Amino acid sequence: MRLLPAVVTASLTLAVAYYVYIPLPDTIQEPWKLMMLDAVFRTTMHLASLKAWLGFDHYIKSIRSCTEGFEGMMQAALSSESGGGVMPGVKVSDTTFAGIPVTVYEPPAGGEGHLRRGVMYYHGGGWALGSAKKGSYDTINRMLSDELNTVVVSVEYRLYPEVHFPVPYLDCLATAKHFLSPEVLASYAIDPERVAVAGDSAGGNLAAAVAQEISLDDTMSVKFSVQALIYPVLQALDFNTPSYLQNQHIPVLYRTLMVRFWLQYLNADLSLQPQLMVNNHSSEIAPELRARLDWSVLLPPKYKNSYKPLTGGKGAQGLAKEVPGLLDVRASPLLAGAEVLAKSPRSYILTCEHDVLRDDGLMYARRLQDAGVTVTSDHYEDGFHGAISFITWPFEFEIGKRAIRGYINWLKNNL
């Protein structure tokens, strides 16, 4: 009988280890910490799926409530450690720009009397998750405001399932136009020649799309000086790029999850996922459009390896027309023509080696450079998607800290 507790304990330990362990590339630092993080995410998604199946709540809303609770715990721990919050000198206020909720971070009073930098930030989360003022976004925006004497506006654009494309984009565009108005910039003492738009992941998608639209709008007297895109998602026509295949099972953004995010965002039937996974949805697009995301031409040789382009079969004739957002440049900024890209502001694009979106960012950097835009490509060989979101307890990664420092330093030197 005495052996029973030991056997049960050993069995449970093995079961937990089996659940947590996933093979990871050798170049990923702190692998067990990433495995634990992934186990938490997988558990959250499994529970959300179960609740949705039982009819208790929407899948995304369940995930959102869990992640927001977790972010609240991290925020409380951080406030306790820092004696009331990070960068206490930064003034934080909630308001609205063009009717859209935003959080404004203003630097300490010591910077008064001089014009300041301005940054508009769009958070990531697959157009379904995340918040402009919670978790790491709050920490990062406070750091940026304090260190660079910057007014940061973080946008609470509307999310799926409450809305679909193009509503999040239109929310972000409206806030950008409001922010860039001379009157608003003057009210915050912002130099109109030093205003950036930035975002990560889905937020990087929105930042790129908004930057394109603003650059083309001749009614705007002030435009963005620079754009900073952190592992942005930029196209939905090729889910078989080398990075999508190489990193399809690497946390925290699996290939299947990214395809699902796209279908949700574009208000498409989730049953179409198998078609998108084999690129059937892009089998009929025009050669000129395909060339704008032809990774066999746009990627450096080191990232192509032995992968071959997959153009899809004929299993979904007319799917691109059935889901028009697939070809909409407002959803997929990588599809913009060279004449549009040529008007883009000076750009910073951060990519991570172990990220399905790596090639989206690398291709966009190449196309911007080909169009004559000055681009800084900041690539992290040991990076994974979402790294900047993990810079505080309990999932604090050194890669996240380095990536944030690279982003802030670039803005310091270029904005």
pLDDT in tens, 104-118: 999 987 545 589 999
Task: Find the domain containing 136 and state its range.
Answer: 91-415
Domain membership flag for residue 330: yes
Residue 389 phi, psi (nearest 5) = -80, -5
pLDDT of residue 46 exceeding 50: yes
Tell me how far CA of residue 254 lies from CA of 67, 133, 258, 337, in angstroms. Answer: 17, 25, 6, 29
User: How do strand 375-384 and strand 391-392 relate by DSSP bridges?
Assistant: unpaired
More confidently predicted of 330 and 71: 330
**Spatial separation of the C-alpha atoms in residues 272 and 322, rounded to whole Å:** 11
Lowest mean pLDDT among 128-132, 235-239, 242-246, 350-354: 128-132
- Would you state the pLDDT for residue 203? 98
pLDDT by residue (tens digit) across 200-219?
A: 999 999 999 999 999 999 99
Stated pTM of the model? 0.94
pLDDT of residue 14 exceeding 70: no
Of these residues, 355, 360, 378, 382, which one is catalytic?
A: 355
Q: Are 37 and 392 in contact (CB under 8 A)?
A: no
Of these residues, 131, 136, 385, 389, which one is catalytic?
A: 385
Domain membership flag for residue 121: yes
Clarify whether 281 is annotated catalytic: no
Position 126 confidence tier, pLDDT thresholds 50, 70, 90: very high
* 202: nearest Cα among 151, 144, 266: 266
* 153: nearest Cα among 72, 212, 224: 224
Q: Are 298 and 327 in contact (CB under 8 A)?
A: no
**Averaged over 336-354, what is the pLDDT?**
98
Domain membership flag for residue 79: no
**Spatial separation of the C-alpha atoms in residues 371 and 363, rounded to whole Å:** 12
Domain membership flag for residue 55: no
Of these residues, 131, 136, 201, 225, which one is catalytic?
A: 201
Domain membership flag for residue 188: yes
Place of tokens 């330990």: 13
Domain membership flag for residue 305: yes
Residue 73 CB burial class (10 angstroms; 0-12, 13-18, ≥19)? exposed
Domain membership flag for residue 80: no
CATH number of domain containing 122: 3.40.50.1820
Clarify whether 377 is annotated catalytic: no
Domain membership flag for residue 51: no
Clarify whether 355 is annotated catalytic: yes
Number of domains in the chain: 1
Looking at the DSSP bridge assignments, the partners of residue 396 are 391
More confidently predicted of 203 and 64: 203
